[in-house]
Amino acid sequence: MTLWSWGANSHGQLGLGIVSEQVEKPTKVTDIHLYECKIKQIVCGGGHTLLLDNEGKLYCCGWNNKLQLASADEVNTFHRTWKLSGISFVDIACGWDFNCGVTDDQFLFVWGSNSHGQLGLPKEHFSDSMRPIRLEVKASAVSMGLRHTAIVNSKGQVWTTGCGKHGQLGLGQDVLSSDRFQQVNGVGNISHIACGQNHTVAWCSEEKALYVWGDNKFGQLLLSSEKYRKLYKPNKIDIDVKQRVKKILSGWTNVLLWLENGTLLAWGRNNMGQLGTEDTISVGRFTNIQLPDGRQVKDVALGSEHTICLATDNTLWAWGWNEHCNTGISSEGNILTPTLVPLDLNKNSVVTQIYSGSAHNFIVTEDIVQSEVENNGNKKPL
């Protein structure tokens, strides 16, 4: 297993042992000690990164101005988060400068910036920068935006906390901020949730319906921005999707829905190619992103304003904002359509995982061998 990273690196968030403005192409992360564990998940904040291994242990690197690394120092290689040793996590999430982790018994730990109550900690009793603390809150799914947090519990209920001046909390026009988790009313049994910069989107698998609230300046709520500039409570939208949703993802001002048949539906802002098309997309409508030559999607990840996408033929594609070589494509401008990311891999390597954050990315590759167990000729990772 090999970890690669590229993009913005001003705080050492790529884990490469250096601090630099950017790393222009996928580069091996060599100084990482997982003690024979596998990588389960990577999440990226504004300038920091968290890594979760398959035993539930946490590692971190990058920006630490708000204690988002849960340590005293800023580091530019992945270090074990010893403050949380002995705790087994099953899911993690990053906001701009704050984090949360869901334990194996579904309790929520939070740490980092609490400047707007985004950790769900009362500001009169807790500081703006917090070391890890366990809440009496349980979560099945988590997402974090610029300054707000949303969780889904085992009942499919949504709870939010933090900044809500754009309606991103979904708690009504009278609740523009909260430093405690409060339940969002008016939604179905939610299965997927994603926070953008100042908005929130959720998917109900039972109803096959989208729920949206918050800022809609760029049509990120899939509604007319002239008629609906902000929504302070959830609005249910039937987008005529009759199949299972694999992922709902949000950048700062754009949203992507990945369906079971491989379809990528995207909507919202497209000033830097976030929607993977040069065509003009009417506000309040979505576009179907197509990979070249009929390729099928194996996985997809969103940064703040760029996307990376793994195809089933082991090729990697990217589009969107490229100021810090976020896409891994050598260009002075943004990448407006899905474009091949050059990867310096040997012929026996396959990309098995992809992750993206504000302006940086990670991929995991593994070497493959011919399986003696399978008779269909498929290759299997070591």
Q: How confident is the model at residue 280 (pLDDT cuts 50, 70, 90)?
A: confident
User: Residues 50, 42: contact at Cβ < 8 Å?
Assistant: yes
Cα–Cα distance between 314 and 58 in angstroms, integer? 28
> Cβ of 220: how many Cβ atoms within 10 Å?
27
pLDDT > 80? residue 377: no
Q: How far is CA 343 from CA 307, 336, 362, 363, in A?
A: 16, 20, 12, 10
Cα–Cα distance between 69 and 26 in angstroms, integer? 24
Q: Where are the domains of the chain?
A: 1-31+290-382
- 12-39: b (≥16 Cβ within 10 Å) or e: bbbbbeeeeebbeebbebeebebeeeeb
Q: Cα 32 from chain centroid?
A: 22
Q: What is the pLDDT of residues 107-116, one digit of tens each?
A: 999 999 999 9
> Could you identify the residue written with the tokens 């070591």?
382
The shares of helix, strand and coil residues in the chain, as percent rounded to the nearest 5, are 0, 50, 50
**Count of helix runs (H) and strand runs (E) in the chain:** 0, 29
Identify the sign of the CA torsion 91, 310, 305, 16. positive
pLDDT > 50? residue 202: yes
Q: What is the pLDDT of residues 346-364, one digit of tens each?
A: 888 999 999 999 999 999 9
User: What six digits make up the tokens of 328?
Assistant: 């891994």
Average pLDDT, the chain: 93
Identify the sign of the CA torsion 110, 115, 120, 122. positive
User: Residues 179, 127: contact at Cβ < 8 Å?
Assistant: no
Give pLDDT, residue 370: 52
Q: How confident is the model at residue 35 (pLDDT cuts 50, 70, 90)?
A: confident
pLDDT > 90? residue 140: yes
Q: If you average pLDDT over residues 184-197, what whole number do you get?
A: 96
Give pLDDT, residue 282: 74
Burial (0-12, 13-18, 19+ Cβ within 10 Å), 208: middle
Q: How confident is the model at residue 373 (pLDDT cuts 50, 70, 90)?
A: very low
Coil vs helix vs strand at 84 = helix
> Could you identify the residue written with the tokens 């995207």?
266
Q: What is the pLDDT of residues 76-88, one digit of tens each?
A: 999 999 999 999 9
The letter for the amino acid at 259 is L
Cα–Cα distance between 375 and 148 in angstroms, integer? 50
pLDDT > 50? residue 185: yes
Q: How confident is the model at residue 281 (pLDDT cuts 50, 70, 90)?
A: confident
pLDDT > 60? residue 276: yes
